[in-house]
Chain A
């Protein structure tokens, strides 16, 4: 059967069900591949029986990599932070439990920006992740490790989390598929919280069909998560052949924010492909979407400042040594345990919620959010989907944007509005482009957003487009690339 690592998860599942592929051997092959990690993508790999509490009795689905933000019982879970170094949770997150119940062995926990705060995976306390396309560049973030393992041939598929773009943007920068489902489609129980009203679990896969299969495994209302509703119907594998009858909107207010000319070219070319498939492309105004970054960088840090307050050295995790009273212990623990970006966002969030500032910041940002959701609603009255480039640029260099936090935040420009509105959005690889500073070509992602709970239609359209684009480039050294 050729190289089993070539099989997508859907293909492997079919082969295993048909008895053509031995599940145990298949899992072992992937374990071997994962062991060759030179990208610093894995923080922990499942070897030597260390993952006993999350073991899968009878594998029947492709093994999977899990972002280190998901609690896994008895297995190190750090959220990319020093403050949780060595922490082994006493329970397993619902998302991972569903993977285990579906028969997907856990390959390992992937590296990430600390507490999911970042767009380049340079904020990890355990070192940056390298982009398999060019190891001098970032894979994107915060699910950089999950994207890198899939793109780099170290896992067939992975799960990550998306709060403002943290699945979609690294998927785009690594040339793979990344899906952020509707808020509430997948349980957040056991997913270390960054911004509670925005965080969502989602698939990072090689193709749209794998994303559909993974979504089907993960989705569902969970009694442990009061905000989870699941999807009305379990997703099916997509099979749509063209895009006739479907209308795609380009938001006129947003697309000026592209940094790399190459990204714009790929975007325009993809619009032509849509038309060639029978789809209609039009323009729409999302007047408040340009304020998405501003609203997001108030709401997310505000919720984060509260969610991260439990890391206080009392019950688990790191506690700073030395003398002192309670407050000194708190202050030193958190000073030593958190990285610079996390501290920045905690400060920002605390300020936005503090006495005298709540209405002007948090209150106002939640109103902008209402308007952004309304803008999308109006757009969906006329169109089936809203489309944008996923990221304003291709993968940038390590250290290139770390000097100015705001510059880093602007990477989320196209992805944040969908997070604020809670609607589903997918990024598929649409082509290659040269970075504006020159150099070898790198992947460009195309983002499609749909109305809330419109996952099936979204997957169908993404599938048809993906088939037509036929993106088959690979990083050098990965499966024949």
Chain B
């Protein structure tokens, strides 16, 4: 039901590096789950509004008042590669 190509495409969207073996297993497992999940597509629900929010609240807002920010060293405390007060990452591939 879900082909290898689709698995690769979705893995790319999710930035998940899957091995060839994982891609194959994933295709099988996802297909099984989707088959079960697909039962809902048979239901006649055209006029039913989707639930996008469970609580019936509106306009929950915060006053525009500053709070104390983290000190620079605290902000970077867990960084895998902190450099000169910034977070260093590899660049995207040159375009």
Using a CB–CB cutoff of 8 Å, the interface residues on chain A facing chain B are 87-88, 90, 183-184, 197, 223, 226-227, 229, 288, 291, 293-295, 297-298, 305, 309, 312-319, 324-332, 334-335, 338, 343-344, 346-348, 350-351, 354, 360-361, 363-371, 373, 404-406, 409, 422
Contacts and interface: CB of A to CB of B under 8 A. Distances in A.
Among A183, A313, A348, the one with the most B-chain Cβ atoms within 10 Å of its Cβ is: A348
Nearest to A308: B14
Contact of B79 (A309, A315, A318, A324): A315
Interface in B1-56: 2, 6-7, 10-11, 13-19, 22, 26, 29-30, 32-34, 36-41, 43, 45, 48-55
Contacts of B49: 367, 370
Nearest to A89: B78
A454 B15 CA distance: 42
B21 to A, nearest CB: 12
A351 B10 contact: yes
A365 B40 contact: yes
Given A331-B16, A364-B41, A406-B32, A325 B48 contact: no
Nearest to B52: A366
A87 B78 contact: yes
21 contacts: A197-B54, A227-B53, A293-B36, A294-B38, A298-B40, A314-B87, A319-B80, A335-B16, A343-B16, A343-B18, A346-B16, A347-B10, A347-B14, A347-B16, A351-B6, A361-B37, A367-B48, A367-B49, A369-B50, A405-B33, A406-B36
Nearest to A196: B54
Given A87-B78, A315-B79, A405-B32, A371 B48 contact: yes
B57 interface: yes
Contact of A313 (B29, B30, B80): B80
Contacts of A90: 70, 74-75, 77-78
Top-4 shortest CB links A-B: A331-B17, A366-B50, A316-B78, A335-B17
- Determine which residue in B2, B54, B81 has the highest number of CB atoms from chain A within 10 A of its CB, and name it: B54
B33 A183 contact: no
Contacts of A371: 45, 48
Contact of B45 (A318, A325, A331, A368): A368
Given A319-B81, A334-B17, 6 more contacts: A184-B54, A297-B37, A313-B80, A343-B18, A347-B10, A348-B34
Given A354-B13, A368-B45, A315 B87 contact: yes
Contacts of B83: none
Nearest to B37: A294
Interface of B: 2, 6-7, 10-11, 13-19, 22, 26, 29-30, 32-34, 36-41, 43, 45, 48-55, 57, 60, 62, 70, 74-75, 77-81, 87, 89-93
A330 B57 CA distance: 36
Interface SS of chain A: helix
Nearest to B22: A343
A325 B93 contact: yes
B37 A298 contact: yes
A184 B60 CA distance: 13
Contacts of B7: 347
A344 to B, nearest CB: 6
Contacts of A305: 14
B43 A364 contact: yes
A294 B79 contact: no
A368 B40 contact: yes
Contact of B92 (A183, A226, A288, A327): A327
A183 B14 contact: no
A358 to B, nearest CB: 11
Contact of B18 (A326, A329, A335, A373): A335
A313 B88 CA distance: 10
Contacts of A298: 37, 40
B15 A327 contact: yes
B61 to A, nearest CB: 9
Nearest to B81: A319
